[in-house]
Amino acid sequence: MTAASLPTIKFLQQPTSAAWIEQAIAHLDTILLDHSHCERKAAGVALNLIFRYPSSSKLVRTLTAIAQEELEHFEQVNQWLDRRGIALAPLSAPPYAAGLKAEIRRSEPERMLDSLLVSGLIEARSHERLGLLALHCPDPELAQFYRGLMASEARHYGIYWTLATTYFERTDVGQRLEQLAAVESELLATLYPEPRIHS
Amino acid sequence: MTAASLPTIKFLQQPTSAAWIEQAIAHLDTILLDHSHCERKAAGVALNLIFRYPSSSKLVRTLTAIAQEELEHFEQVNQWLDRRGIALAPLSAPPYAAGLKAEIRRSEPERMLDSLLVSGLIEARSHERLGLLALHCPDPELAQFYRGLMASEARHYGIYWTLATTYFERTDVGQRLEQLAAVESELLATLYPEPRIHS
């Protein structure tokens, strides 16, 4: 089983390891529960950016659409949990998101640029990993579900990138993305022992 | 012009004053902008409750639907702003929501009960006031928009009430609602000088 079965996702410096796929497939119920939390958090992040930049109309418009879509996915994943008899429950977060958040510079306008790029990177990684689940998941219906999500999620990291280039110079965006993408890959270089979407 | 032209909304101890209607109709653009913030905040509050009570499946399911609906309204109000040439912008909040939030007890399970009832009260008041705007707004298309929102928002305060009675004894819910509703009406007894949905 190799992670190289999917084309490389733009934005990501390192592809997901085969070790993650094995861990995820061996703990699909936990991965589904964590996925529910990820969708909920993604909606929350989009909404927080709308709260923080209420005058940036393009950001408000596009992130409203993203938040709506994440909430739809959240609902769909919860239906899958219900179907498999997995109770909704809290789940400890892996160090991934906190590690990326720590890279967000505190002062504006850098904070806005970093926030958009960190969200874009998380979306890109989620997109890659849902694709791997679609490819390797032994339950064909669940695999189909992951494929469906991927198709609509594929746009999200592009949207965050486009927003970044709307408010910032393209070369600045590219340079900063490269730095953050290096951190992102580094954070996933060692597999987190608990199975998670971003372990 | 009297506020008595609408049937009394269950939950609310005092109807909205004629002074608020006059203030709102005289500053419809500001009311629209504030309305946009209210819809965004309502989505945020529903999402925060989902974050806080991730294991309460009925709460998660119904509040996901509410958050989605509030985001749709947020988008619709923003389209109205665009149509009237009003730029998205931050707006200072009246003391209303902070005053209600201060009543939420800090320890569980009281915190959950109070949070649901405060949200229910805010929804009930919003429902009443959007109804008054529908009745008094001089722009027939905008009035129609308010009527449309009302129709779908009418359920929200009922949903928060139903959730409260799902997790708590009906008599406890009724008693606490009465206390919070008294505070809610008191907070609106003096008209806030800046025109707001909850001034």
Q: How confident is the model at residue A8 (pLDDT cuts 50, 70, 90)?
A: low
> Can the peptide bond before residue A109 be classed as cis, meaning omega within 30 degrees of 0?
yes
Percent of chain B with pLDDT over 70: 95
Are the C-beta atoms of residues B64 and A54 closer than 8 Å to each other? no
Which chain A positions have a beta carbon within 8 Å of B57's beta carbon?
78, 82, 87-88
The pLDDT of residue B9 is 67
**In terms of CATH, what superfamily is A27-85+96-187?**
Ferritin, core subunit, four-helix bundle (1.20.1260.10)
Distance from CA of A57 to the nearest CA of B (A): 6
Interface of A with B in 38-67 (CB under 8 A): 40, 43-44, 47, 50-51, 54-57, 60-61, 64-65, 67
Q: Is the pLDDT of residue A4 over 70?
A: no
Q: Which of B51, B55, B71 sits opposite A67 (nearest CB)?
A: B71
Range B28-44 average pLDDT: 96
> Is A90's CB within 8 Å of B47's CB?
no
Residue B85 in contact with partner chain A when CB distance is under 8 A: no
Distance from CA of B5 to the nearest CA of A (A): 35
**Coil vs helix vs strand at A16:** coil
pLDDT at residue number B152: 74
Residue A6 — very low, low, confident or very high, per pLDDT cuts 50/70/90? low
The pLDDT assigned to B2 comes to: 43
Q: What is the pTM of this model?
A: 0.91
Residues in chain A with CB shorter than 8 Å from the CB of B64 are: 71, 74-75, 78
**In chain B, where the domains are located:** 27-85+96-187
Least confident among A195-199, B4-8, B40-44, B164-168 = B4-8
The whole-number pLDDT of residue B150 equals 86
Beta-carbon separation of A88 and B56 below 8 A: yes
Kindly report the average pLDDT of chain B as a whole number: 93
C-beta atoms surrounding A1 within 10 Å: 11
- Compare all CA atoms of chain A with the CA of B66 and give the residue at the minimum distance: A71
A67 and B43 within 8 Å at the Cβ level: the answer is: yes
Q: What is the DSSP string of B71-118?
A: HHHHHHHHHHHHHTTPPP---PPPSHHHHHHTTS-SSTTHHHHHHHHH
Residue B115 CB contacts under 8 Å (≥ 6 apart), including other chains: B49, B52, B104
Instruction: State mean pLDDT over A125-145.
Output: 95
Q: What is the pLDDT of residues A95-117, one digit of tens each?
A: 999 999 999 999 999 999 999 99
The pLDDT value given to residue A11: 84
Residue A150 in this model has a pLDDT that exceeds 90: no
Question: What's the burial of A37, exposed, middle or buried (CB within 10 Å: 0-12/13-18/19+)?
Answer: buried
CB pair distance less than 8 Å for A40 and B51: yes
**In chain A, what residues touch B37 (CB-CB under 8 Å)?**
54
Q: How much of chain B exceeds pLDDT 90, in percent?
A: 89
pLDDT at A153: 74
Distance from CA of A52 to the nearest CA of B (A): 9
DSSP state letter for B8? P
Return the pLDDT at B154.
76
Instruction: Check CB contact under 8 Å for B44 and A47.
Output: yes
Among A124, A128, A125, A146, CA closest to A137: A146
CA separation for the pair A150, A126 (Å, rounded):
9
Cα separation of A83 and B163, whole Å?
Answer: 23
B151 pLDDT above the threshold of 80: no
